[in-house]
Structure 1
Amino acid sequence: MFLTLLGVALLEQLVIYQVGVIPSQYYEVLGNKDFSGFKTLTAIAVTLIIVNSTLKSFDQFICNMMYINWRKSLTEYLHSCYFQGQVYYSLHVLREDIDNPDQRISQDVERFCRQLSSMASKLVISPFTLAYYTYQCFHSTGWLGPVSIFGYFVIGTMVNKVLMSPIVSKLVQQEKLEGDFRFKHMQIRVNAEPAAFYRAGRVEHMRTDRRLQSLLKTQRELIGKELWLYIGINTFDYLGSILSYVVIAIPIFSGVYGDLSPTELSALVSKNAFVSIYLIGCFSQLIDLSSTVTDVAGYTHRIGELQETLLSLGRKKNGNYSEARTSWDLDSHSGEDPAPRDTAFLLERVTLSVPSSGKLLIKDLSLRISQGNSVMIVGNTGTGKTSLLRVLGGLWESTQGSIRMLTCFGPRGVVFLPQRPFFTDGSLREQVIYPLKEIYPLSGSADDERIVQFLELAGLTDLLARAGGLDEQVDWNWYDILSPGEMQRLSFARLFYLQPKYADALGELQLICEMFLGDAALAYRRCLVGRGFVGLMTFLSVLDEATSALTEEVEHELYRLCLQLGMTLISVGHRPSLEKFHSWILKLHGEGRWELTRCEKMKRLPSGEGH
């Protein structure tokens, strides 16, 4: 596209030059009253104008296509960094130096590419036009013409540089406030019902208007600074038109063209004026781009700042992953006794603090989470229950100690069910199989039957009719349609669907490799089409108060189903009735203190329950 744009722009400049010298030829044919020459010249002029219009249209078309491709490439590149590991989580939760990452990716990239594409044609052709018309100007006016025009451009560039500097920083501030203002409206949209229960319309109106006023104040300041830049640009544009005639007047008044007739002199002045004016116009276009360049510079700063942060977080995540793999290898090759095969996590003297404040939550915790030994985490608010799950999930880092992950995260190994479930856009099937990317049915409607069965087990039979089927693309927001209890029921239906099955030892090893390579869908397909299922491999489920919106009876039924499906649970909860579904209770007292006790209630479960 770039080379095509260059070719089209060069052809356009050749045609423009021919169109530009036509007025001088009109002076000649009209001055000589040459009617035949007038008709021929008019036909040529009309043809050149049509060709020029076509080339200009193609020029704009190619620039627009370049804008789309630039935006696609840059946005997908940022997405690849943004969604790597848990970088997006760290950026939104643990980092405060990057404001509105979503706006930078969605809006700033769009504006950056749009503005850059609008300059592309002028920047591509400028070196060629400047060289050619400098030569033509020198041929017409001598050395004085090009030197005067170049000096004029240098002065204009220096003045605009001084006027542009304060605009860039102010533009960056404006974009930040734009993002804050948009985020406030999004906050109201997401939390419309709680705000309405609080009767918070007046206070939110005041807060939203406050953000608007801050934004408009910055925009006024930006417009004030841009005023002086526009004055400079327009002044140099109009002075340039006078300068062209001054350059031509010097050889005329010095007698260089004293032997020409008035008609010939008019034609010469017209031709030379076009050359000089066009050369000045080329420089003026570059000066006119000052306002666009300031916008591009502002967006470049914001996008570049985001890119640097994403790459930094990505390298940090990759380093942590390498360390985790090294720990895994040590289990197999070091002199220490390897952890048992059924172990999911091994915590050794782990100390945990809040990243932002450094508040001590847990100190010297040693714990082995293994198959069949479900753990319930209890404690008062702020003692670190969810924080411990964040460390297990790799979202936070422990202050001291080591945490070894001996199974894989994701659909085939460990699944976390947060207190507030996450639902993506799409059909009901996509909500159940999430986070699998694709569906690999056993045969025909076998996968549909599994999903329907798990929806029934979770008590969501009517949801299938409300959604219009498993694959009906709905345009609603699932958070607006489902009640809190239904959200948590649907999360358990998802959990039931993701249970893993393995055929044999070799197949199991191959599946684990595929999991670590991130191809969960392929792993799932191999699970389903494997021959001769030998049994169930433990599936670890981490529940962060995932049943807080359910009744105790429904909660018990869901927990019983999880245990019957062979899952090992790590639960955060407050209800004592949940203790019978767990083997161990980890009680957090705060300030680093904790207590691990064996739960005797599980032994007294009725036969067939909880196994």
Structure 2
Amino acid sequence: MMPSYKKCFQEMEKRKDFHFDLNFLKASLRIKSKLFIEGSYYAILFVVFNLIISISSEVVGYYLGLIPGRMYSALLSKDVDSFWFILWSGSLMYVGKCFLLAALSSASWLLYLCFRKNLTTSLTKAIFYAKTTAYKLFCLESLDNLDQRITQDVDKMCTILANTLLPAVMICPFVIVYYTYKTYVTAGIYGCGIIYGYFFIGTCINKMLISPLSKWTARVEKVEGDYRYKYATLRDNIEQISLYGGNEFEKDSTYTYLNKILKAQFYLGSWIFPNTMFQTFFSYYGGLLSYAIQFIAIFWWHIYDDLSPQDLAKVISNNAFVYIYLVNSFTRLSDTSIAIGEMAGLLQRIDEVFVACRGLRYSTNITHDKDNNLPLITVNNVSISTTSAKLIINKLNIMSNGNLLILGPSGAGKSSLVRMFLDVWRIDEGIVNINMASDQISVIPQKGYFPTGKLTLYEQICFPKIITPGTPIKYEEEEIIFELIGKLHLNSVLARVGGLHIKPNFEYNNVLTPGELQRLSFIRALINKPKLVFLDESTNSVSNDVEEIMYTYLIKNDIRVVSVGHRDTLLKWHAQVLILDGTGGYTCRDI
């Protein structure tokens, strides 16, 4: 039976494009709970602030909209006192309006910060929910550019949502209701019908234009991520590229990625053009429509026939303001079409991560039953497959009390077996028991990991333990570190760093040799005095003499080992050897 996480990624692989459709609405409902997380009320607070400020701004805006009509009346009637009163009161209202707009901008920015914090926190929790989730997300290729989704996509989506969409969507319903009433009073059902029909037609056209925009936005984000990742690999492997003389190859390769970006951006721009054109027309034509609606009251109903010219000018100006503001409220919603189209693609890319994380949560087949009557490691009828469902280990059965050496050709599943023991790689079937608590087990991976951030040597060795300025230093750990630094000939590294608790001015991966990094990984594995250590080709970058020092230390301290390697020198340190043949079969014998 295919594991559930493989089905999950295969289903996701079928769907490459995102649209403004029912899937977007479902994803929006799922993301909503990540934006407004339980126990954090800042996002809700700033949404309320946005609403209050927006309503205040609209109230002030309404009175500002009446100023032109009052000015026309005062000027046409040559009323000096009214003119100066309108001028000064209008000036104060404009100051207040500007203050409210600035406050709305600040509140929207703070809301963006809350949204980004909540969404990124939720993503991080989902990715690191279980020991294996992050590993599978990053190693399986069905999810492209996971780092971009967590950083750039979240940033863009939260910016659009907090600064563009929510301010418009929250206030427009209130404004539309109020100005619909005002329009009905002066232009009747016909005036309202014209404006609502105008909006309905605009909405239908927008719906047709938004969906391709969502699709191409997601495609652009993908190729942008691929392009950035290409340069990240160049940065990390520039020495090897230079040694190979691969400059021309990489130049052509980067041009290929660039052309993919330009092509995707061109198609995105091709859909932005009709969106922008229609959005602009919809906005500007509303001004003319506001005067056309007045044809009903003036020429059909003759409501204002008895008004003087100055009073009629005031009425026309005020009515035009009401109609154009109602049209503008609809156009504000329509103007968000491009933003919605962009956000739809981003939101669904982010939601895909949450969906994938839920699909990767599974129960473990690894047990840690401590029983003196059981061997150290028991593997019962275990089968392991690759992510592409290729069987690499079939019906494995072993019982080991001593040190176990795993051999086999490249790709036979040696490292996969170590991952299985450490509960990182899922078992298709079978059961594994390690007769030891999980906190008594350490690992030395084939490629050591040294976090960036110019950490001290002590912090690097203690990883993944979190060291803060207030963390007490365990001198027993320091003794082990200094002992192993001396035994493994790492005094030059200590001198280069400047001391155990000194922050270096370099990153370890960029300066230290693979052999030095491998020896530091060895110290890290032993800092907590484990009783079982897994070594995944952990001595391939050190000399035979250093390898002997490492295994001698392990044996002397009664630490059991499970090793993966190719050197014949490893045989003498182990009691059993497991040989994988690369086709799913194996042999196991005592040494």
Residue among 555, 569, 585 paired with 1:577 = 569
Tell me the distance in 2 between the aligned counterparts of 1:156 and 1:12.
26
Counterpart of 1:231?
Answer: 277
Kindly indicate whether the alpha-carbon contact (under 8 Å) linking 2:443 and 2:525 is maintained by their aligned counterparts in 1.
no
Q: Are the structure 2 counterparts of residues 427 and 133 from structure 1 closer, same or farther at C-alpha, using a change threshold of 3 Å? A: same
Counterpart of 1:365?
Answer: 396
C-alpha displacement at 1:180, in angstroms? 1.1
Q: Secondary structure at the match of 1:592?
A: coil
Residue among 105, 114, 117 paired with 1:60 = 105
What pairs up with 1:77-92 in 2 under 5 angstroms?
Answer: 77-84=122-129, 85-92=131-138
What pairs up with 1:546-565 in 2 under 5 angstroms?
Answer: 546-565=538-557
Residue among 432, 439, 446 paired with 1:419 = 446
Counterpart of 2:32?
Answer: none
Tell me the distance in 1 between the aligned counterparts of 2:309 and 2:72.
10
C-alpha displacement at 1:424, in angstroms? 0.8
Equivalent residue letter for 1:490: L
Residue among 512, 523, 543 paired with 1:493 = 523
Tell me the distance in 2 between the aligned counterparts of 1:32 and 1:298.
57
Q: Are the structure 2 counterparts of residues 115 and 31 from structure 1 closer, same or farther at C-alpha, using a change threshold of 3 Å? A: same
C-alpha displacement at 1:341, in angstroms? 6.3
C-alpha displacement at 1:144, in angstroms? 1.9
Q: Are the structure 2 counterparts of residues 249 and 437 from structure 1 closer, same or farther at C-alpha, using a change threshold of 3 Å? A: same
Matched, 1:389 2:425: no
C-alpha displacement at 1:404, in angstroms? 2.1
Counterpart of 2:36?
Answer: none
Residues 178-200 of structure 1: CA deviation (Å, up to 9, x unaligned):
11111111111111111111111
Kindly indicate whether the alpha-carbon contact (under 8 Å) linking 1:348 and 1:401 is maintained by their aligned counterparts in 2.
yes
Residue among 313, 321, 324 paired with 2:360 = 313
C-alpha displacement at 1:474, in angstroms? 3.8
Equivalent residue letter for 1:544: D
Q: Are the structure 2 counterparts of residues 466 and 158 from structure 1 closer, same or farther at C-alpha, using a change threshold of 3 Å? A: same
Tell me the distance in 2 between the aligned counterparts of 1:45 and 1:242.
25
Residues 48-99 of structure 1: CA deviation (Å, up to 9, x unaligned):
1111111111111111111111011111101111112211111222x33221
Residue among 305, 318, 337 paired with 1:271 = 318
Matched, 1:465 2:495: yes
Residue among 597, 601, 605 paired with 2:589 = 597
TM-score by length of 1: 0.84
Q: Secondary structure at the match of 1:470?
A: coil
Q: Are the structure 2 counterparts of residues 406 and 224 from structure 1 closer, same or farther at C-alpha, using a change threshold of 3 Å? A: same
C-alpha displacement at 1:497, in angstroms? 1.3
Equivalent residue letter for 2:487: L
Kindly indicate whether the alpha-carbon contact (under 8 Å) linking 2:227 and 2:257 is maintained by their aligned counterparts in 1.
yes
Tell me the distance in 2 between the aligned counterparts of 1:29 and 1:205.
71
Matched, 1:354 2:386: yes
Equivalent residue letter for 1:224: S
Matched, 1:340 2:332: no
Kindly indicate whether the alpha-carbon contact (under 8 Å) linking 1:16 and 1:52 is maintained by their aligned counterparts in 2.
yes
C-alpha displacement at 1:37, in angstroms? 2.1
Matched, 1:147 2:193: yes
Counterpart of 1:120?
Answer: 166
Counterpart of 1:181?
Answer: 227
Kindly indicate whether the alpha-carbon contact (under 8 Å) linking 1:457 and 1:493 is maintained by their aligned counterparts in 2.
no
Tell me the distance in 2 between the aligned counterparts of 1:379 and 1:148.
78
Kindly indicate whether the alpha-carbon contact (under 8 Å) linking 1:459 and 1:489 is maintained by their aligned counterparts in 2.
no
C-alpha displacement at 1:139, in angstroms? 1.7
Q: Are the structure 2 counterparts of residues 49 and 174 from structure 1 closer, same or farther at C-alpha, using a change threshold of 3 Å? A: same
Matched, 1:452 2:493: no
Counterpart of 1:476?
Answer: 506
C-alpha displacement at 1:403, in angstroms? 1.4
Tell me the distance in 2 between the aligned counterparts of 1:32 and 1:9.
35
Matched, 1:434 2:481: no
Segment drifting more, 98-107 vs 395-404: 395-404
Residues 16-70 of structure 1: CA deviation (Å, up to 9, x unaligned):
1111111111112222222222222222111111111111111111111111110
Segment drifting more, 120-129 vs 468-477: 468-477
Counterpart of 2:344?
Answer: 297
What pairs up with 1:122-271 in 2 under 5 angstroms?
Answer: 122-254=168-300, 255-271=302-318
Equivalent residue letter for 2:446: Q
What pairs up with 1:316-327 in 2 under 5 angstroms?
Answer: 316=362, 320-321=363-364, 324=366
Tell me how large the CA RMSD over aligned residues is. Answer: 2.1
Tell me the distance in 1 between the aligned counterparts of 2:506 and 2:357.
32
Residues 338-357 of structure 1: CA deviation (Å, up to 9, x unaligned):
84367443101323343425
Equivalent residue letter for 1:13: E
Tell me the distance in 1 between the aligned counterparts of 2:185 and 2:102.
32
C-alpha displacement at 1:441, in angstroms? 7.1
C-alpha displacement at 1:589, in angstroms? 3.0
Tell me the distance in 1 between the aligned counterparts of 2:406 and 2:420.
14
Residues 238-268 of structure 1: CA deviation (Å, up to 9, x unaligned):
2211100001132112321011111111111
TM-score by length of 2: 0.87
C-alpha displacement at 1:276, in angstroms? 0.8
Equivalent residue letter for 2:54: A
Kindly indicate whether the alpha-carbon contact (under 8 Å) linking 2:415 and 2:536 is maintained by their aligned counterparts in 1.
yes
C-alpha displacement at 1:469, in angstroms? 2.8
Point out which structure has higher relative CO (alpha carbons under 8 A, 6+ apart).
2
Residues 205-228 of structure 1: CA deviation (Å, up to 9, x unaligned):
111110110111111011112211
Equivalent residue letter for 1:390: R
Tell me the distance in 2 between the aligned counterparts of 1:382 and 1:499.
32
C-alpha displacement at 1:363, in angstroms? 3.6
Tell me the distance in 1 between the aligned counterparts of 2:550 and 2:71.
91
Q: Secondary structure at the match of 2:307?
A: coil
C-alpha displacement at 1:406, in angstroms? 3.6
Matched, 1:109 2:154: yes
Tell me the distance in 1 between the aligned counterparts of 2:480 and 2:471.
10
Counterpart of 2:17?
Answer: none
Kindly indicate whether the alpha-carbon contact (under 8 Å) linking 1:454 and 1:496 is maintained by their aligned counterparts in 2.
no
Q: Secondary structure at the match of 1:142?
A: helix
Kindly indicate whether the alpha-carbon contact (under 8 Å) linking 1:458 and 1:493 is maintained by their aligned counterparts in 2.
no
Decide which structure has the larger Cα Rg and report it.
1
Tell me the distance in 1 between the aligned counterparts of 2:387 and 2:307.
85
Equivalent residue letter for 1:464: L
Residues 118-145 of structure 1: CA deviation (Å, up to 9, x unaligned):
2211111111111111111112222222
Equivalent residue letter for 1:358: K
Residues 303-328 of structure 1: CA deviation (Å, up to 9, x unaligned):
112211111112x2xxx23x55xx66
Gaps of 5+ in 2: 1-45
Equivalent residue letter for 2:390: G
Q: Are the structure 2 counterparts of residues 277 and 347 from structure 1 closer, same or farther at C-alpha, using a change threshold of 3 Å? A: same
C-alpha displacement at 1:289, in angstroms? 0.7
Q: Are the structure 2 counterparts of residues 341 and 178 from structure 1 closer, same or farther at C-alpha, using a change threshold of 3 Å? A: farther
Q: Secondary structure at the match of 1:437?
A: coil
Kindly indicate whether the alpha-carbon contact (under 8 Å) linking 2:448 and 2:518 is maintained by their aligned counterparts in 1.
yes
Q: Are the structure 2 counterparts of residues 158 and 550 from structure 1 closer, same or farther at C-alpha, using a change threshold of 3 Å? A: same
Count residues with an aligned counterpart.
Answer: 540
C-alpha displacement at 1:447, in angstroms? 4.5
Tell me the distance in 2 between the aligned counterparts of 1:597 and 1:405.
19
Equivalent residue letter for 1:594: Y
Equivalent residue letter for 1:283: F
Tell me the distance in 2 between the aligned counterparts of 1:48 and 1:566.
82
Tell me the distance in 2 between the aligned counterparts of 1:294 and 1:388.
46
Kindly indicate whether the alpha-carbon contact (under 8 Å) linking 1:15 and 1:52 is maintained by their aligned counterparts in 2.
yes
Equivalent residue letter for 1:480: N
